[in-house]
Structure 1
Amino acid sequence: MSHDPLHPPLSEFALTTEETDAIKHALALHDSWKLEQVGMEPVRDTLKALRNRIKYFHLMRQKNLCCYCRSNLYGGGLFTIDREHIVPKSHCKPLTYEISNLSVACKRCNMEIKKNKTSLFHNPATIKDTHQDKDSYKIIHPNFEVYEDFISRTQLQEGTSVLVKFNKRKEDAKTEFTYEFFKLRELECNSFDAAQGLPQSTSTQTAIESSLVSIAQGDSIPLDTFISLIRQAATSESDDDQKNSSGINTLPKDEMNKFITAALELYAKSVNEQYTPIGHDRTLSLPAPRAQESDE
């Protein structure tokens, strides 16, 4: 078994005798997960409680984030969070209730992308025996590896303006496969400029994004330099909408203050605390998923 670097450790999750017996009953059925089937009636309440316990245990381990894309799951329920089977239960039924084969994911990553695919294993035929070995997987393993050792998600939201950026911390096969498999590029966005009616790819966009990404990667930026960079980025020599007396195009004062306030919040966090990915306490609203629970 690979080292477990997360907290609380997997070893702290213990099954009761009643839960163990209920799992044995479920595994004897054709579908070991669907609670609504008639055959589940004797153990339905026990398994329902167990599955909730599994979900909240893994939410603690993942810090309320999707184990694959780091979207915020805090406060989400049936329509947001899936109990994720890393090795799909359809591929390996005996691992259906194995705590090391479970985690939490958003509907996008689980239902729309991963589904029942086995291409994320090096050898699907032997994964039952090697499922606790992180090297058996092409993806970052949700339980045996720290996601942020490979990829960090930088996220800033001010009202309706959102910046999302994934930063590859390692240049290796797992980083690349996870990034491509879960289509993380599709989640990246920068609507700060668009929200202000500014053209894309301006100095504002470039400076703000590069500053936030640098801080997210743990780089040290002097406070004066940081503020100066943001202020300078708000001044552009582009066209003719809001030019001041010197003929320079600037952001409105109240919008500039929004940028500076949000940026300084992030700066203070990086200076006063050990760096934690922004996704841990910043929210990005995702489109409402389909009202269907997959839990693959």
Structure 2
Amino acid sequence: MVEFVLRVAGVLVAFLVAPLVVGQAEHKVMAHMQSRLGPMYAGGFHGWAQLVADGVKFVQKESVTPAAADKRVFEWAPVVAILPYMAAMAAIPLSPALVGAHLDSGLFFVLAVMSVGVLGSLMAGWASGNKYSLLGGLRVAAQLMSYELPFVLSAASVAVAAGTLSLTGIVDQWNPWWLLWQLPALVVFFIAGLAELQRPPFDMPVADSEVIFGPYTEYTGLRFALFLLAEYAGIVVLAGLVTVLFLGGWSGPGPDSIGWIWSVLKIAAVSFLVIWVRVAFPRLRADQLQKLAWQGLVPVALIQLALTGIGVVVFH
């Protein structure tokens, strides 16, 4: 019982801290990359408390529900959007001992719960009583349906290579040659993951120059903040999956007792790459976005999966 409580508490702390750290890093990294430093005074050194100040601002704002909205669905949408990432974080191991829940089918579980997040966006768009919100919600659904296939296929390639769906078991099978062998799957998985999170350059459904802010247009206050927190939590989950599936998780120099440090450093590096992509690449048009998924990523993922299966049969 005590161990269960500690695991739950650890997952809650990680869920509350890690997305905020990524959000703060995004603000500061983008500011320096684009030579626009922005607020630098909150908290003193380098404006480290600006994100906290933003959070206090969101809490103080009134949460308005439009008169034409479906009130109950409108209010529950942010919760539905954020809970899947909390569940996913519980199954991603930092080390064999540091994991919220040991699951034999951990990869299947994480991919399944991540796909539930789209329901939050659909609920928000449908229930807002706003045609632009509805259009944004439908665009989110279309995008996530397109990129879910290469996302799952590239992860399946890793599962076939490792011979297990356990995230801990996949790390145990990892070796330095793995990165070269599964490099196409890594590229597809990372790009599809960005699209799943609606991160730039795949943020067309929520871009202000397209349909205001997509399905989240009518949200204010703490509910709006929950959608933002879900995005940063999604970055942590994506970085954690890339680390476990392709980068060897806690594998690294030194004793096993510091393996979790390697996991954290790799997650931080992948999160930085997500932020860098936002700064470096322009937004795709809707037709370009769909073409990349169906004519680019899906064929590469299928070929990689087939080659992995052949390799496993021939060499094992």
Q: TM-score range by the shorter chain?
A: under 0.3
TM-score (norm 1): 0.27
CA radius of gyration, larger in: 1
| Greater percentage in strand | 1
TM-score (norm 2): 0.26
| Greater percentage in helix | 2
